[in-house]
Structure 1
Amino acid sequence: MEEFVGPRLYSCYKRRNRVALHDDIISKGFQAKNRRAFLFSHATNIVVGPKEDRHLMTGLHTVADVYCSDCREVLGWKYERAYEDSQKYKEGKIVLENSRL
């Protein structure tokens, strides 16, 4: 049996561009529309789009879509600002949709 060496990685589903490490997952309990998503502390090889206010399941947030830096597919979003005190922990974090990884 082959032994696994190196960190577990998440990649863009289209071009296999590496975008996040398994060890950077903060929560696996997020939803993106009708899909499961993970909250990451940070990601790489992404482009952050313009900020906009959105009403999400947990209230109003300022977010920006994040795209694969290679193919420009939307992978999820970045929390730029949370208006509720209980949601402040999300600021600066990135949600990536499982179906796009």
Structure 2
Amino acid sequence: MAELIGPRLYSCCNCRNHVSFHDDIISKAFQGKNGRAFLFSHAMNVVTGPKEDRTLLTGLHTVADVYCGDCREVLGWKYERAYEPSQKYKEGKFILEKSKIVKENW
């Protein structure tokens, strides 16, 4: 009999707080501050810091750092606003750095 397990998710590397579902990945081809990063449509159990303008590889964006809701580890950032029309699809989405998250239920 097959065992039932929950959905595949990603957790904070520090405290294992669940932060996003695998099914919410939009792209794995992003660059974070510390290497590869994933673009997610949603994140959970996180808090966002103050909004600030940053010049990233794809131009100027208004972003807010994203922290684990339990241990406050910085996991990535949320795109609040994109100034370039070609980057508007990122608005409201989350970057979570691969080095800051771990797989659960795989």
Q: TM-score, normalised by structure 1?
A: 0.95
Counterpart of 1:6 in structure 2 is 6
**Stretch deviating more after TM superposition (27-36 or 80-89):** 27-36
Task: Evaluate the alpha carbon distance shift between residue 27 and residue 5 of structure 1 in structure 2; reply closer, same or farther with a 3 A threshold.
Answer: same
User: How much has 1:4 moved relative to structure 2?
Assistant: 6.2
Percent identity, aligned pairs only, is 76
Higher relative contact order (CA 8 A, sep 6+): 2
Provide the secondary structure at the position in 1 that maps to 2:65.
strand
Counterpart of 2:16 in structure 1 is 16
Counterpart of 2:32 in structure 1 is 32
Q: Give the Cα–Cα distance (whole angstroms) in 1 for the partners of residues 22 and 91 of structure 2.
A: 20
- Count of residues in correspondence between the two structures: 100
Identify unmatched segments of 5+ residues in structure 1: none
User: How much has 1:6 moved relative to structure 2?
Assistant: 2.0
Q: Give the Cα–Cα distance (whole angstroms) in 2 for the partners of residues 53 and 16 of structure 1.
A: 30
8 A contact 2:62–2:81 mirrored in 1: yes
Provide the secondary structure at the position in 2 that maps to 1:42.
coil
